Amino acid sequence: MDTKMKAVRAGHKGAVTKLLKKFEEIQQSSEADYEEISTLLEVVTQKKRTLENINEKILEQTSDEDVAVEILESDEYMFNLEYKLRQITKLSKYIAKLPWKAEHPPLPTNKAVAFRRTESVIKRLRKEPKLLLKYGEIIDEQEKRGFIERVDNEEIKQNIKLHYIPHHPVKKDSVTTPIRIVYDCSCKQTPDSASLNDCLLNVPPKLNEVTAILLRFRLNKYAVSTDIEKAFLNVGLDIEDRDVTRFFWLSKPTDPNSD
């Protein structure tokens, strides 16, 4: 076993411990510094990649009788680090509240309607297995990146204000993204009940003036344009509003008996 490699790994783990301690201090702070959190996220993510590479090299040099112990120890550490990374990712997002009307009508749970429509979507997609698989992959990816989160049964029982939103696929003429998921916030439990959209203000989007953008674009000799990947999904929803944006999905959409 290369003890030098283990010493290098221990050094990186020590650096990660200091970074995570800094994150805990930020968590306890009354005001979040998004720039500081984003920098912290970037550094910890890079450390995670470095540790993964070191773990692979150490594993290659580990004797057969010690492999199981090495895998167990490294996997446990990396699992905990991944959990902390998800926490940092959530905190690094810009958080916004839903624009509720001052006196909005009662919002029903919509649970039964959303459940039936999700069943219908899955049944329809099972006729096209590739699309069903892609649909599930999109949701899995959103969960991994912290855009959505699972809710356990205990949380469902404890919450009071709940609302479920149906969703369905829209096909696209694209090789990389053949479908996109659309959420129906206009869905009503009954014809006389309110939808989520009925309870929210219809405010104009806060976008910069196009004329001003074009003028600034021509102001200097060089200009750079870019695109933020999944920009909309990178805006976090305030925790008080998350329970009105719940939806149903299966852990394994290809398995009819999946939860």
Going by pLDDT thresholds of 50, 70 and 90, the confidence category of residue 30 is low
What's residue 156's pLDDT? Answer: 57
CA angle, 180 as apex, 176 and 185 as ends, to 5°?
A: 165
Q: Does the pLDDT value for residue 123 go beyond 80?
A: yes
CA–CA separation, 212 and 196 (whole Å): 34
pLDDT, averaged across the chain: 85
Annotated domain spans of the chain: 3-92, 111-244
Beta pairing partners, 245: none
Q: Does the pLDDT value for residue 133 go beyond 60?
A: yes
pLDDT in tens, 162-218: 999 999 999 887 777 788 999 999 999 999 999 999 999 987 777 778 888 888 888
Lowest mean pLDDT among 84-88, 119-123, 140-144: 84-88
pTM, rounded to two decimals:
0.63
